Amino acid sequence: MRARSQLRTTLPALAVLSATLLLAACGGDEDGSAETERPDSFAEIAGAAQGQTVRWWMDGGDDRINAYVDDVVIPAAREAGVRLERVPVGDTADAVQRVIAQRRAGRESGGAVDLIWLNGENFAAGKEAGLWLEGWVRDLPNARFVDFDDPTIVNDFQVPVDGQEAPWSRAAFALAHDSEELAEPPRTYAALLEYLRRNPGRFTYPAPPDFTGSAFVRQVVAAMGEDRAFAYLRELKPLMYRDGETFPESADELNDLFANGQVDFAMSYEANFVAAEVDNGTFPQSTRPFVLGEGALVNVSYVTIPSDAANQAGAQVVANLLMSPELQAQKADPEILGIPTVLDVERVPPDLRGRFDELDESPYVLSDFGQVEQELPASSVEPLEQRWEREILRGD
Amino acid sequence: MSGLHASRRWRDRALVAPAVSVLALLFGGAVAGMLKTSLVPLGADGLSGATLDTWRELLGDPAFVDALVFSLRVTVLATAASAALAVPVAVALRRRGLAIRSLAALPLPVPHLLVAVAAVLWLGAGGLADRLLGGLPVNLVRDDAGVGIVLVYVFRETPFLVLLMLAAMGRGLQERTEAAAVLGASPGQRALWVLWPTIRGPLVVGSIIVGAFVLGAFEVPLAVGPSYPPTLATFAFDATQGSVLAGEGLAAATLLLTSTIAVALAVAAVRFARDAEGA
Amino acid sequence: MVRRPLLARAGGLAIGLAFALPLAILGVRAFADTWRAPALVPQDWGLRGFEAAFGGGATVEAFGNSIVVALGATALALALGWPAARVLGERRLRRPGVVFVALAMPLLVPPYATGAGLTEWFIRLRIIDSLGGLVLAHLTAVLPYVVLVLLAGFGTKVTELEDMGRTLGLSPARRLAWVTLPSVAPTLAAATVLGFLVSWSQYGSSLAVGGGLPMAPLVLFPFIGPDPQTAAALSLLYVIPPILALLVTARAASSPL
């Protein structure tokens, strides 16, 4: 709590500081005429954004992320002259559905969704339908700190981002165990199978198409290839919780089963989930994250602006803020959120770089996720989910 | 004489018209939009881009057939059980004061999803019952037969039916029951001749509302239903997981079909009630 | 003979508690910062749930909006529904089937189905993203309930009493106040409570046409899966307005005017 209130006071000042630093840096060095045009065009955008109210539709169920937005992002936006409102939804799909309905109604401006934090599949589908504002990301001043040669950043589920969404968060697939109950968790797929032979019923994963369950299946597929992965999942099934006949419907439900001692492992695509669940009292303090296999599936989260959004300039100002070294450093701080930054820290000016190096180690957040397992193409996600339903759930 | 009749009929129609036309305008447009969504993919040019692909995909999916059967079973069970429980509860509560009636009505303002959360807190694996008993004798959460779904609905919908019946009972029922008793009617006869005609209307109407809701809502099956089969609504919900765009047509088609079934069941229920009345 | 009412009273209380007590677990959960198996009572008590619930500040505004919209939708539904319910309740239509189906349609179509359709349609009607639009969207759900409940109160008994009033020379206003309202009071009260409740609980349509305006269920729902403590804390506040509505209307019904 103290960290939060401290944030409230120091942040606006720091945000202004970093913004001025950035503008100075952008205008000063570098070469080429294209470079010098950027600050000008963003200055215009920042000018147009003054007094706009940006409605950012996002999942509203995580009180730490809510607090980060309310206590860090909203004050920083206010300093930049933009009123930011968080529209909490239970499911990002609700926001996308709203944009689709606006398109269906033939509306091309004045849309109620200014900014969405969305998943790769929805991004890919929306991109195909031309729902998103194009070519604005690279012009944001803070985009200079992002490595756009990094394949995990320039592609979202292997779909080229093409300047239609701005990176703001990193996700990595991790499992959790209670170190008091189980000192050393099985860290390979073979070890997990072996563990379940000795302790049947102590493992489960949410049923795809749930986001987390689908990611677990992809994590296995990325590790061993599709057919071997399905053979593995078939082998796992009878050894799972309730004989693999019933699966939790969501990561939340799995978290509760884990917290109440029904299974030995929890899992999430959010790299910091153990910190969040310990913080809100769901998990015991002895819970520790770990990676299953050689490495974790990783993914970058983005925010996008619908092409019909009413307050596009303001939304770009907010997206730029979200990528600022200051806000990214706050987000990476395990005390606040503990989500890995999307910035290339080498590109951050030395005086701000320290903020990333000084981050406290937390037992609840992994600093090393092993080798990076790339996300599968967005178009392959649904077929995988359908195959899972056919072969694993129904067991045809 | 016939002129008077005709003008009365027109006056009655005029009195019904505002309610009907407001609903037709506001709601009809929304339903038409859903129909269009199920036929015309986003980006296709107007109605010329209409295709029956979504409907074909839906009707050809074996999971849809399983969902249909499962949904109908859960709907009939939940509705019948709620109605059967609501009648004795309403009779027992009709002379009770406001405090007790309010207690019984408490589930009404609690969202279904939250009632399901409470059910999981009590009955789920590792839940309070599990902790008290040191193990669960039966699985009521995520059981294959959908008993958990039925249980949550009975708990949540019985008070709704009770409220409707208590409103219809009012003060008149008391007087009529006493009059019947003075005329020498036995308790059974009083129930059949006085009580039943009073509550039959609200019970049938309420049960239709409950049945339609159970058939089309996804929250409770998602929270306490089995992983397979889905209900019609969770089938639609699953279609939009991942990408809304890819699944919105399928979801719209599923739910339109669900609505059609609900209307058919409602009409059948009204017919059945009227036949029973005639008999 | 003395024992029977006592027994009936105890039975009534038992029934009331059977519906109320299972929900009391939400009251405990709201204050349970930690409550893991095998503990029968929470390991840690605290107010984290309430802090998270009011973190953003939109919660109070959301409750205010929801109350305004629920009152508006209920009032409008009563005004539109009363004449329709009267005609239907007194069986004055020769073929009421069509009207019934038209009126009941919003109750038969899953609320989840119409969300996107409602957004598109309300954009076309230009009544989107406002409290007024929300009132109209809620009206589609509230009006059917109000009509169906109200019509049960009308019938030959009411018209006979009104005719008596007319012969006694009562003015239309007095007839309404002294005869009609008292005789339909219980159903009118039930229709009002139910109307308020239905509007208060609208999640899908509030999301569909509100354009992000905070409403009570929209604040509550996102927490229900991920954060049961906050959801439980909010639910304790969430049930207060409907319960107040129940008490107020029940009191008005038992002593009309």
According to the per-residue pLDDT averaged within each range, which of A229-233, A371-375, B55-59, C165-169 is highest? A229-233
Q: What is the pLDDT of residues C71-88, one digit of tens each?
A: 999 999 999 999 999 999
Report the gap between the CA of A179 and the closest CA in chain C (Å): 16
> B77-116 burial string, b = 16+ CB within 10 Å, else e?
bbbebbbebbbebbbbbbebeeebbbbbbbbbbbbbbbbb
- Chain C residue with minimal CA distance to A59? C222
Query: Is residue A31 predicted with pLDDT exceeding 90?
Result: no
Q: Which helix (H) or strand (E) holds C41?
A: none
Query: Is residue A182 predicted with pLDDT exceeding 80?
Result: yes
Query: Is residue A11 predicted with pLDDT exceeding 70?
Result: no
Report the gap between the CA of A15 and the closest CA in chain B (Å): 35
The SS3 call for residue A299 is strand
Name the average pLDDT for chain B: 90
Query: Is residue C52 predicted with pLDDT exceeding 70?
Result: yes
Report the gap between the CA of C190 and the closest CA in chain B (Å): 6
- Residue B215: count other Cβ atoms within 10 Å of its Cβ: 24
Question: Which pair of tokens denotes residue A35?
Answer: 């470079």
Instruction: Please give the average per-residue pLDDT across A343-370, as a whole number.
Output: 88
pLDDT at B2: 60
Question: Which pair of tokens denotes residue A66?
Answer: 């809510």
Instruction: Please give the average per-residue pLDDT across A77-97, as a whole number.
Output: 94
Q: What is the pLDDT of residues A236-257, one digit of tens each?
A: 999 999 999 999 999 999 999 9
Q: How far apart are the first and last CA of chain C?
A: 36
Q: Which residues contact A380 (CB under 8 A, 6 or more apart)?
A: none
Q: Which helix (H) or strand (E) holds A80?
A: none
Q: Which residues contact B213 (CB under 8 A, 6 or more apart)?
A: B157, C107, C110
Instruction: Please give the average per-residue pLDDT across B202-217, as a whole number.
Output: 94
- Chain B residue with minimal CA distance to C244? B102
Q: What is the pLDDT of residues A127-144, one digit of tens each?
A: 999 999 999 999 999 999
Of the given ranges (A2-11, B79-88, C52-61, C98-107), which has the lowest mean pLDDT? A2-11
Q: Which CATH class is domain B55-278?
A: mainly alpha
More confident residue, A18 or A44: A44
Indicate yes or no: CB of B16 within 8 angstroms of CB of C93.
Answer: yes
- Residue pair B243/A382 in contact (Cβ under 8 Å)? The answer is yes
Question: What phi, psi does A264 have (nearest 5°)?
Answer: -95, -5
In chain A, list all ranges with CATH 3.40.190.10.
Answer: 2-169+301-357, 174-295+371-393
Report the gap between the CA of B145 and the closest CA in chain C (Å): 23
Q: What is the identity of the amino acid at C39?
A: A
Chain C interface, best mutation among A5, A57, A63, A103, by max C CB count within 10 A: A63
Indicate yes or no: CB of C211 within 8 angstroms of CB of A55.
Answer: yes
The SS3 call for residue C171 is coil
Distances (CA, A) of B134 to A213, B126, B261: 30, 9, 43
Confidence of residue B97 (pLDDT cuts 50, 70, 90): confident
Indicate yes or no: CB of A214 within 8 angstroms of CB of B246.
Answer: no
Q: How far apart are CA A274 and CA A266, in angstroms?
A: 9
pLDDT at B45: 66
> A177-187 burial string, b = 16+ CB within 10 Å, else e?
bbbeebeebbe
CA A68, chain centre distance (Å):
14
- Chain C residue with minimal CA distance to A101? C120
Query: Is residue C256 predicted with pLDDT exceeding 60?
Result: no
Confidence of residue A290 (pLDDT cuts 50, 70, 90): very high
Question: Which pair of tokens denotes residue C171?
Answer: 């003015």
Q: What is the pLDDT of residues A56-79, one digit of tens each?
A: 999 999 999 999 999 999 999 999
pLDDT at A28: 36
Question: Which pair of tokens denotes residue B136?
Answer: 């669960």
Question: What phi, psi does C90 have (nearest 5°)?
Answer: -90, 10
Indicate yes or no: CB of C16 within 8 angstroms of CB of B107.
Answer: no
Query: Is residue B121 predicted with pLDDT exceeding 60?
Result: yes
Using a CB-CB cut-off of 8 Å, the residues of chain B touching A121 are 242-243, 246
- Residue pair C15/B104 in contact (Cβ under 8 Å)? The answer is yes
Domain ranges of chain B: 1-51, 55-278
Query: Is residue B63 predicted with pLDDT exceeding 50?
Result: yes
Query: Is residue A374 predicted with pLDDT exceeding 50?
Result: yes
Q: Can you name the CATH fold of A2-169+301-357?
A: D-Maltodextrin-Binding Protein; domain 2 (3.40.190)
Instruction: Please give the average per-residue pLDDT across C239-244, as a whole number.
Output: 93
pLDDT at A266: 98
| Bridge partners, A117 (sequence order) | A303
Indicate yes or no: CB of A261 within 8 angstroms of CB of C115.
Answer: no
Confidence of residue B193 (pLDDT cuts 50, 70, 90): confident
Q: What is the pLDDT of residues C5-48, one digit of tens each?
A: 788 889 999 999 999 999 999 999 999 999 999 999 999 999 99
Q: What percent of chain B has pLDDT over 90?
A: 66
Instruction: Please give the average per-residue pLDDT across B252-277, as a whole number.
Output: 88
Q: How far apart are CA A250 and CA B223, in angstroms?
A: 9
pLDDT at A25: 39
Indicate yes or no: CB of A97 within 8 angstroms of CB of B248.
Answer: yes
pLDDT at C255: 52
Q: Can you name the CATH fold of C58-254?
A: MetI-like fold (1.10.3720)
More confident residue, A102 or A40: A102
Half-sphere exposure of B4 (CA within 13 A, CB side): 1
Q: What ipTM describes this predicted complex?
A: 0.91
Q: Which of B12, B104, B131 is the closest to C38 by Cβ?
A: B131
Query: Is residue A7 predicted with pLDDT exceeding 90?
Result: no
Name the average pLDDT for chain A: 89
Query: Is residue A4 predicted with pLDDT exceeding 70?
Result: no
Report the gap between the CA of B122 and the closest CA in chain A (Å): 13
Distances (CA, A) of C140 to A162, B20, B31: 42, 10, 12
Of the given ranges (B67-71, B168-172, C99-103, C208-212), which has the lowest mean pLDDT? B168-172
CB distance from A4 to chain C under 8 Å?
no
Q: Which CATH class is domain A174-295+371-393?
A: alpha beta
Q: What percent of chain B has pLDDT over 70?
A: 97
Instruction: Please give the average per-residue pLDDT across A101-111, as a whole number.
Output: 93
| Bridge partners, A300 (sequence order) | A170
Instruction: Please give the average per-residue pLDDT across A16-26, as a whole number.
Output: 40
Instruction: Please give the average per-residue pLDDT across A8-33, as a whole number.
Output: 40
Q: Tell which A residues from 295 to 354 touch B, by Cβ distance under 8 Å.
A: none
Indicate yes or no: CB of C227 within 8 angstroms of CB of A63.
Answer: yes
Indicate yes or no: CB of A394 within 8 angstroms of CB of B228.
Answer: yes
Q: Which residues contact A358 (CB under 8 A, 6 or more apart)?
A: none
Question: What phi, psi does A173 have (nearest 5°)?
Answer: -85, 120
Indicate yes or no: CB of A382 within 8 angstroms of CB of B248.
Answer: no
| Bridge partners, A285 (sequence order) | none
Between helices A33-49 and A312-322, what is the axis angle to 10°?
A: 120
Query: Is residue A53 predicted with pLDDT exceeding 80?
Result: yes
Domain ranges of chain C: 1-46, 58-254
Query: Is residue A198 predicted with pLDDT exceeding 90?
Result: yes
Report the gap between the CA of A121 and the closest CA in chain B (Å): 5
Query: Is residue A21 predicted with pLDDT exceeding 60?
Result: no
Using a CB-CB cut-off of 8 Å, the residues of chain A touching B223 are 249
Q: What is the pLDDT of residues A256-270, one digit of tens each?
A: 999 999 999 999 999
Distances (CA, A) of B60 to A179, B35, B246, B256: 48, 19, 17, 16
- Residue B32: count other Cβ atoms within 10 Å of its Cβ: 13
Of the given ranges (A119-133, A274-288, A304-318, A354-368), which has the lowest mean pLDDT? A354-368
More confident residue, C135 or B41: C135
